[in-house]
Structure 1
Amino acid sequence: MKIATYNINGVNGRIETLLKWLEMSAPDIVCLQELKCEDKSFPITKIKQAGYHAVWHGQKSWNGVAVLSRKEIKELRNDLPGEDPEFTHSRYLEVFTFEMVVGCIYLPFGNPLPGEKYEYKKRWFSRLVAHANTLIATGLPVILVGDYNVMPTELDTYKPEKYKNDALFRPEIREHFQSLLDQGWTDAIRTLHPDERIYTYWDYLRKAWERNAGLRLDHFLLSTDLAEKLKAGNVDKQVRGWDGASDHAPVWVELAAKPLKKNLKKSGAKRAVKRTSIADFPQAVQDLIHGGAQMPMPEGIRPMKATLVDKPFDEPGWLYEIKWDGYRAVSYIQKHQARIYSRNNLEFTQFDAISDALRVLPFNAILDGEIVALKGDGTSDFGALQNWKNTRKAQLQYYIFDILYLEGHSLLELNLTQRREILEAILPSDDQTLKLSKAYETSGIDFFDAARRLKLEGIIAKRADGYYSSDSRSREWLKIKAKRRQEVVIGGYTRNEGTDKFFSALAIGVYNAEGNLHYIGKVGTGFDAAMQKTLMSKFEKLVTKRCPFETIPDVDEPSQFRPQRLGAKPTWLKPVLVCEIEFAEITRDGKARQASFKGLREDKKPNEVILEVEKDTQSIIQEVNLDHGLSENSTMTSGQELPKTSKNKTLKVSKPLIEGSGETIEKKIDGHNLKFTNLNKFYWPEDKVTKRDMFNYYDAIAPLMLPYLKDRPMSLNRFPGGIHSQSFYQKDVKEIAPDWAHTMPHTNEKGEEKSYLLGEGKATLLWMASLGCIEINPWFSRVTAPDNPDYCVIDLDPDKNTFDQVIQAAQVTRQILSDIGVTGYAKTSGSTGIHIYIPLGAKYTYEQSQLFARLIVRQVNRELPKFTTLERSINKRGGKMYLDFLQNRPGATIAGVYSLRPKPGATVSMPLDWDEVKQGLKMKDFTIFNAIGRLKETGDLFSGVLGTGIDMQEIIRHAQGKFS
């Protein structure tokens, strides 16, 4: 393939020169600059007669650019992102043709220097650099070609000293060009002719062309995959000598059909460095790896998931990646064997091309990424991926974006930037199957715009300093979809009267909060006859007489767009197949409109398929920024004065339990030997809070905390590697509890025999902490009366709410309780909400406690309907604060009073005096740094929670008159 650029300097005046050269050189793609004609005057008829399609963007006086191609052209954009109203000299036209992105560029000279035109040129070049960064991040084949009006090196001018103060040769402009090369672009002509003076422009004056007093101003910048195909290139210098020719000559490059390995070194592309051990890595990378906890390779890691938000954003501290349309895949490489698992730990055995490439890597590692099948244009083809096992026609690539484990070290305690530094070191740069999914600091809005124009799935935004949270839907990974996609469960199919197809449409649904399959409409497009036949072979085994949806839908329901019935008859299927659809919108009655079938999802479990609702981007960003301490409002530190309140039992603190800097120590606590290990491990890395600090906190807080733990079954929420490590719940301690621990045999609702740990003394508390229990989660009831809670809890759980709204809801709750003669006790959750406790004295059942809480929150909702809700389903809350009364049930737990939380900031669930519950209160007012100092002054504000409790019957009788 031959691609050329030609500054024609007036296309209508030089049309015959252009046509003559096109016939002689026969390029496949041509970029033209300086058209100097309006759009309506572009000579499209003659261009077509020469055998070319064309897209152009003209301008009467100054400029204009065009792209000609022997194939059809799809225009992507006709300007760079951003605006600069001061001048309009520059031009940029971006198109898609020959399965590549072509950017046609014209930058002005920028003279006189200094001056406004030069300043404009610098600004425009900056916009180009930013957009180029976005383009190269897509991984698509891209060529940026045209008249840059810059000479990158001394070789690019016949007389460097003459131009040292010219806008074409100024250091700032050359630095902009170099920054493009630093992104990974290849300067094609200089690569092919590294030591030659190649010129593309000669002034009209003083016979410059005849004495070859030229400049190289016209450039081809190629993305890596195109650079690997670079075969030849030069300048058709003779055209400059034709009568009436432009002051530029056409420049061209030729690309081979397949990569030419010999060009890699010339093009400047990085070659893979052979590394067979950690010792081969740069020292900085070695230090990062050794900073991870040493441990055997874990199994069954479920990948971190991204939260769907409604729009792109620009925010410092975030990286942006392409959202690939494929199968999420976690791969385990051990002893030159590779196993690949889906997000639900189902093994992928069909992708042997990926496995073969992975097992060559000389490391034991766990990688996270996406397996995709690529079309010719570089975009992913989910249908081809789904059928790859049968056809094996598509090109498979494994886009790897994270590394979780390497050579005996867990990397979960490292942030994303650090993990990616290791990942870049471990992956070969020239592998055609294993690809690093590129991440860039750029404009998220522009990056999304590029993805949308290029028909990509969307983008992923990730906090650069974020940590990997296994099996969680993190708000530090956000996905913004350019196409609306949804996974759905197939509950049946329909056939219209008179059709000769296997079926007319699929009846689809998603699971709601109650666990019922909810019908959301039909999908009748997106499958050809072959796919229908494949689906029917699966359907035949799943036919059932029972409708799987919660209510039997009218599958032949007319609509405003199709008022007539088609005689559709349903055949119900067992709901075990999951597919993905693309759709226009969810209508008011909850149906997917204009749904199109995209393929089966064998990597998804049906009961996990719910309707994915976009969250408000700005609210999520604000929340994440607060978590990372980026809020404009500062949080309370240990040096600030703490509020003084009542004089309950005070806290006396002696010296810390564990001093010094050793990694391991044994201590006798309550007469029992406890071993404390990994004492220098940062459990809160951002805050430099170690495991030692956690032990010292719980030792100091024990006198106040233990009354709320004694004799209560505990739910162990373990974070063995700190707050960003993979966590898990453990309720049965039969096999791990020490002999001296108190336990409670218990049969849960599923009939499973459990042995719960009981809160007892300080030794039990510190033993839980030694297991990585950052937060302490006691039952609401004690072993002496397991069905009778000591208190009722109302959990104010915000969604898109401000904390001031949480405070307002807490004060309204307090007033309602006060009106019926009840004293409530408030504490921060340590995360985002507030908990309000009502003492019951173990006189009532959990069911009675829940009914009482429901009575209260229903009244709160009546008073604050605009931002509170009783809707349990997150998808149906509409961003409102959930007034959670359902926590009042057997076995349910929330973070206990004085508990640390596994959140950045090392926050504490802290009791509050009601005078403190007002605007200005912040969750991070109470942390591991200042909790002990506060409690020395306030004492225990929560002791009333364990009091005799309310007379519920009398209170409800009194409340009925107030709330009726």
Structure 2
Amino acid sequence: MKIASYNINGINGRLENLLRWLKEAAPDVVCLQELKCEDKNFPVSKINQAGYHAVWRGEKSWNGVAILSKNEIKELRRDLPGGDDEFTHSRYLEAFTSGVVIGCIYLPNGNPYPGPKFEYKKRWFSRLQEHAKALLATGLPVILAGDYNVMPTELDTYKPEKYRENALFQKEIRDDFAMLVDQGWTDAIRMLYPGKRIYTFWDYLRKAYDRDAGLRLDHFLLTADLAEKLTDAKVDKAVRGWKGSSDHAPVWIELSEKPARNKTSRSKRIGGKKIPVLTREIQNLLKQADETEMPIGIKPMKATLVDEPFDQPGWLYEVKWDGYRAIAYVEKSGAKLFSRNNLEFGQFTTITAALEALKLDAVFDGEIVALKEDGSADFGALQNWKNTQRAELIYYVFDILWFKGYSLLSITLNDRRKILEAVMPREHPEIRVSKAYHTSGLDFFEAAKKMKLEGIIAKRADSFYSSDSRSREWLKIKAKRRQEVVIGGYTRNEGTEKYFSALTLGVYGPKGNLHYIGKVGTGFNQQSQKELMAVFENLTTTICPFETEPDVDEPSQFRPRRMGAKPTWLKPDLVCEIEFAELTSDGKLRQASFKGLREDKSPNEVVFEYEKDTASITQEVSLQHQLAEQPHKPSAGSTRNRKGKKLKDKGLLLTGSSDTQDKIVDGHPLKFTHLSKLYWPEEQVSKRDMFNYYDQVAPLMLPYLLDRPMSLNRFPGGIHSASFYQKNVKETAPSWARTMPHTNEKGEEKSYLLGKDRATLLWMASLGCIEMNPWFSRASSPDYPDYCVIDLDPDKNTFEQVIQAAQVTRSILDSMGVPSFPKTSGSTGIHIYIPLGAKYTYEQSQLFANLIVRQVNRELPKFTTLEPTISRRGGKMYLDFLQNRPGATIAGVYSLRPKPGATVSMPLLWDEVKPGLKMRDFTIFNAVDRLSETGDLFSGVLGKGIDMAEVLSTAQHLFS
């Protein structure tokens, strides 16, 4: 294949020269620069008549680029990612043709130097470098060709001293070109002519062409696979001498169909190299890992399927390869490849031989891919490789799990990749490091779609390797909808001459039953059908493998008439992969196409893979990492675990019928007034009853009020009266009360009341505080709450659903090893407390609660929500995690509630949280008797507290 670059310098004025050259040189692909015509004036009809397809981007007077091809051509992009507001003279056009991605480049010279145009040129080069990385990551064959207006070395000019001050020859721009090449590109002309002066442009001086006063400004940069096929390169200098020709001449390279260099000798050279000398950085990374023997039986970490690409810091992106996932165990004595189910791949002998030749002790994770002639993946060829061995096999390695006695599972992906790139050869015919880049996920996905790749993988750069789990820190975004399915049989239509008309397909449901999801009737040829029938021969059965026998000849809107299809059932032992357009509302595949058998998958693992919401998943992962990264405060000594104590029987504080009484409590005088006033009129519960209740439960309640700022919710007229909140007690609190000064947003000095003793509790009650609302943290550590609270706040839910949500929350916390303590809210919901030991901030507490409630919502999506706005909840129960913030309060434990029934916020045993539980089981009438029996069930809330980092580390599977 012959690929050319030609700065035409005005296409319409030099069209005849161009057409003459196209006819004589007959290049397969041509990159043109400096069209100097608008899009509408591009001579497409003349180009077509010459036998070429074309894509172009014109400009009226300055620039413009085009790509011509004898074969069909598909435009991929019309500019580099990013933008620049200052200058727009540079041009980039990208297309796919003849199995190669072609990037056509024109970059002006940047003179005068120094100056703004040169700075622009450097910025443009930075954009090119970033995009070039993304192109390398696709694994596709790519050529970046055109007029770079850069002379990389002194060999690239006839007179170096003349160009010392020219923008074309400046060190910064030469360094940028060198950095681009160092990514893994091959400068085609310089590789073929390492010491020769090759010119593509000639100076404007008089008779410069005759004197060969030239420069090399046009370059071809090739990916390694194309560099293998490079056979020749020339400049058609004679065209420069044609009448009226451009000051540039066409330059071209020639690629053979197969690699031109001896692969066998090259493999020996690479394989025979010594184990690399590790830098100090890599040695230090290994020291962070655990020393272990080489592991066996590792199952790969899996990615979660999400519905759309995204851009977020902290993620890197890779190509989703269309092949077989394989764990490679490599020793100096040999190498073995195993599937995701630990079945050995014995057929891929070229890969195992290449791995063995590396002379490494390592375990790799990667994908075995079969490549077509055009460099794209061919899954069918991979499936049949054992029989045909026609395709080129590549093992794309994207992770290293063990190296020379060190397990790398517990160090970050970023660090694992540093080790991987340090120990693997940079170029190898069969073993390649799958590129990973910090780039735009949106742009990367668009490129993958245009290049007809299967999709992309997004990975958290700081993620650890979690064997045999489906992680939310690895996400896959598919450009094509693919699904693994179980083959349950095949059909033959009436009158067909084919071996079969379609395969009947299914996936397993949660109860282990095989559900029919439709048929696939395309993607086969006669030979592949014959080969499949040979496999089916020993699997035929009279028993339908599907849960319900399907009507395999059922008409549909896409095929309204019956075809006379008859089924032959098969034992559900085979898995295949299909591509499809959509899943219909009744759960059937539409426009399915067969891609090949999956011998690396067990049938009982095949379930339908639904796309998850990208935004929700990435936000959750971000929350997890924020929690893990934040330091925590040492545990406070005042939060020692307290043993639950019981109430002691004692007489009532206030007796008799007097409406006013004075008492000495904790040495302080208190006046109790309006004692006969009914605070709960329906229940005939008076203000006196409220005082007596709080006096009786004070021994259990005070530890949860001590040193905590209080938000006073006052109901001076009882539960049906107007109420108001009071936070400032600077002018009203008795002198013996403890307070915490604070300054409000207006700069005013205020004071919070602090919980202290029985006198303080009863003084609050005397203000009409029916319920007690303490902070989650104490005045001695106001930014560090003692506990995290999850508030199950129902709307149009039954209390049975509240109980169900509470038990799901408990189950999640139990599986994480996290203690939890439930209590009734005293209103409609349930509060669940998690001890923190005053070691974490409110932000960390809220993030942790957020993770938990997201998991609850995933398990109970029909009647729970994370929507804080009541009008948007749709009647669902709100899983409230936002209470975990400074200054927020909820009704404290043992608090009365200003609700009908005189209910109490009562601690519960988890065994009590079951159907039949009611909020009115715990009221002012029975609470003291209960507490005399149970004692304080809530003491663990003020205990040591969880180790959040350890919990998150050991519970990653829950968020997978």
Q: What TM-score comes out, normalization by structure 1 length?
A: 0.67
Which position in structure 2 is the counterpart of 1:697?
A: none
Residue aligned with 1:497, SS: coil
How far apart, CA to CA, are the structure 1 residues paired with 2:100 and 2:185?
15
1:531 and 1:172 map into 2 onto residues whose CA distance is 56
Equivalents in 1 of 2:806, 2:538: separation in Å?
60
The residue identity in structure 2 corresponding to 1:382 is: F
Change (3 A) 1:16 1:514: same
1:220 equivalent in structure 2:
220
Give the CA deviation at 1:825: 13
Q: Alpha carbons of 1:205 and 1:948: their partners in 2 closer, same or farther (altered >3 Å)?
A: closer
In 2, Cα distance between equivalents of 1:825 and 1:550: 30
- CA distance 1:642–1:473, shift in 2 (3 Å): farther
Q: Which amino acid aligns with 1:395?
A: E
- For 2:216 and 2:798, the matched residues in 1 are separated by 78
> 1:927: which partner in 2?
none
Give the Å deviation of 1:595. 0.8
Matches within 5 A, 1:932-943: none
CA distance in 1, matches of 2:863, 2:203: 66
CA contact (8 A) 1:163 1:169 kept: yes
Whether contact under 8 Å (1:63, 1:89) holds in the other structure is yes
Shift of 1:19: 3.1
Q: Give the partner amino acid of 2:524.
A: F
Query: What code does the residue aligned with 1:829 have?
Result: L
Report the residue type matching 2:414 in the other structure: T
> What SS does the aligned partner of 2:559 have?
coil
State the match for 1:351 in structure 2. Answer: 348
2:950 corresponds in structure 1 to none
> Of residues 493, 496, 500 in structure 1, which corresponds to 2:493?
496
Q: C-alpha separation between the residues in 2 aligned to 1:106 and 1:265?
A: 38
The residue aligned with 2:813 is 829
Deviation at 1:501, TM superposition (A): 2.1
Q: Shift of the alpha carbon at 1:948?
A: 9.2
Give the secondary-structure state (helix, strand or coil) at the position aligned to 2:612: coil
Match status 1:528 vs 2:511: no
How many residue pairs are counted as aligned between the two chains? 724
1:464-543 superposed matches below 5 A: 464-543=461-540
Q: Tell me the equivalent position of 1:74.
A: 74
Change in CA separation of 1:335 and 1:88 when aligned onto 2, cut-off 3 Å: closer
Q: Aligned with 2:365: secondary structure? A: strand
For residues 57-83 of structure 1, give each alpha carbon's deviation from its aligned partner in whole angstroms, at most 9, with x where no partner exists.
Answer: 333322222223343333333332334
Of residues 151-160 and 241-250 in structure 1, the stretch that sits farther from structure 2 once superposed is 151-160
Q: CA deviation at 1:830?
A: 9.1
| Contact 1:342–1:603 (Cα < 8 Å) also in 2 | yes
- The answer to whether structure 1 residue 139 and structure 2 residue 139 are counterparts is yes
**Counterpart of 2:245 in structure 1: which amino acid?**
A
Query: Structure 1 residues 375, 950: CA separation in 2 closer, same or farther (over 3 Å shift)?
Result: closer
The structure whose Rg is larger is: 2
Q: Secondary structure at the match of 1:355?
A: helix
For 2:140, what is the secondary structure of its paired residue?
coil
**AA in 2 matched with 1:31:** C
CA distance, structure 1, for counterparts of residue 417 and residue 469 of structure 2? 20
Q: Distance in 1 between matches of 2:806 and 2:260?
A: 78
What is the aligned counterpart of 1:368 among 341, 365, 368?
Answer: 365
Q: What residue number does 1:629 align with?
A: 626
AA at the equivalent of 1:91:
R
Task: Identify if the C-alpha distance between structure 1 residues 805 and 515 changes in structure 2 by more than 3 Å, giving closer, same or farther.
Answer: farther
Task: Describe the SS at the equivalent of 2:476.
Answer: strand
Deviation at 1:402, TM superposition (A): 1.6
Residue number in structure 2 paired with 1:809: 792
Task: Give the stretch that moved more between structures: 204-213 or 394-403.
Answer: 204-213
Give, in whole Å, the separation in 2 of the partners of 1:72 and 1:44: 14
Aligned partner letter, 1:435: R
Match runs of 1:144-293 below 5 Å: 144-160=144-160, 162-261=162-261, 272=270, 275-276=273-274, 280-293=277-290
How far did residue 487 of structure 1 move?
Answer: 0.5
Deviation (angstroms), 1:380: 0.9
Query: How far, CA to CA, are the matches of 1:808 and 1:120 in structure 2?
Result: 56
Shift of residue 809, structure 1, vs aligned partner: 3.1
Q: What SS does the aligned partner of 2:135 have?
A: helix
Trace 1:261-340 onto structure 2 (pairs within 5 A). Answer: 261=261, 272=270, 275-276=273-274, 280-334=277-331, 336-340=333-337
CA distance in 2, matches of 1:819, 1:182: 61
Corresponding residue for residue 7 of structure 1:
7
Q: Which residue of 1 aligns with 2:399?
A: 402
Change (3 A) 1:832 1:112: farther
Which amino acid in structure 2 is aligned with residue 365 of structure 1?
Answer: A
Q: Aligned runs of 1:426-445 on 2, under 5 Å?
A: 426-445=423-442
Residue pairs, 1:881-896, within 5 angstroms: none
Aligned to 2:883: 919
Query: 2:807 and 2:74 mapped to 1: Cα distance?
Result: 65
How do 1:892-907 residues align onto structure 2 when only pairs under 5 Å count?
none
Q: Give the 3-state SS of the residue equivalent to 1:622 in structure 2.
A: helix
What is the rounded CA distance, in whole Å, between the counterparts of 2:259 and 2:403 in structure 1? 31
Aligned partner of residue 362 in structure 1, secondary structure: coil
State whether residues 866 and 880 of structure 2, in contact with CA within 8 Å, keep that contact through their aligned partners in structure 1: no
Partner of 2:375: 378
Counterpart residue number, 2:633: 638
**Amino acid aligned to 1:809:** L
Q: CA deviation at 1:10?
A: 1.2
Q: What runs of 5+ residues in structure 2 fail to find an aligned partner?
A: 646-786, 831-852, 868-878, 887-904, 923-960
Whether the aligned pair in 1 keeps the contact of 2:813 and 2:820 (CA below 8 Å) is no
- State the Cα distance separating 1:36 from its structure 2 match: 2.0
Is 1:489–1:508's contact at 8 Å kept on the other side of the alignment?
yes
Q: Which residue of 415, 419, 424 corresponds with 1:422?
A: 419
Q: Deviations over 1:710-742 (max 9, x none)?
A: xxxxxxxxxxxxxxxxxxxxxxxxxxxxxxxxx
Residues 825 and 21 (structure 1), Cα distance of their counterparts in 2 relative to 1, 3 Å cut: closer
Equivalents in 1 of 2:802, 2:67: separation in Å? 76
> Conserved in 1, the CA contact under 8 Å of 2:500 and 2:529?
yes
Amino acid at match of 2:152: P
Q: Deviations over 1:911-962 (max 9, x none)?
A: xxxx99653369xxxxxxxxxxxxxxxxxxx996669958976859989xxx
Match of 1:33 in 2: 33
Uncovered stretches (5+) of structure 1, i.e. residues with no partner: 651-803, 841-851, 854-866, 883-914, 923-941, 960-964
Instruction: Identify which of 590, 594, 599 aligns with 2:596.
Output: 599
* Cα distance in 1, alignment partners of residues 910 and 304 from structure 2: 42
Structure 1 stretch 37-46 or stretch 340-349: which is displaced more?
37-46
Secondary structure of the corresponding residue to residue 140 of structure 1? coil
**Change in 2 beyond 3 A, CA 1:593/1:916:** closer
Q: Tell me, what secondary structure is at the counterpart of 2:226?
A: helix
- Residue of structure 2 in register with 1:565 after alignment: 562
Higher mean C-alpha deviation, range 809-818 or range 348-357:
809-818
Q: Which residue of 2 aligns with 1:614?
A: 611
Contact 1:321 1:438 in 2 (8 A): yes
Q: Is the contact between residue 69 and residue 97 of structure 2 (CA under 8 Å) also seen in structure 1?
A: yes
Q: How large is the Cα RMSD of the aligned pairs? A: 4.3
- Distance in 2 (CA, whole Å) between partners of 1:73 and 1:391 is 31
Query: Does structure 2 conserve the Cα–Cα contact (< 8 Å) formed by 1:512 and 1:873?
Result: no
Letter in 2 for 1:595: A
Structure 2 counterparts to residues 65-144 of structure 1, below 5 A: 65-84=65-84, 87-112=87-112, 117-144=117-144
Contact 1:869/1:880 (8 A) holds in 2: no
Distance in 2 of aligned mates of 1:952 and 1:485: 43
Secondary structure of the corresponding residue to residue 347 of structure 1? coil
Q: Quick one: structure 1 residues 640 and 368, their matched pair in 2 at CA, closer, same or farther if it must change by over 3 Å?
A: same
**Contact 2:809–2:856, Cα closer than 8 Å, also in 1:** no
Q: Label 1:143 to 1:916 Cα distance change in 2 as closer, same or farther (>3 A).
A: closer
Secondary structure of 1:56 counterpart: strand
Shift in alpha-carbon separation, 1:262–1:307, aligned structure 2, 3 A:
same
CA 617–161 in structure 1, closer or farther in 2 if over 3 Å, else same: farther
Report deviation, 1:598: 0.7
Kindly, what percent of the aligned residue pairs are identical?
61
Letter in 2 for 1:248: H
CA distance in 2, matches of 1:880, 1:581: 35
In structure 2, what is the Cα distance between the partners aligned to 1:598 and 1:823? 45
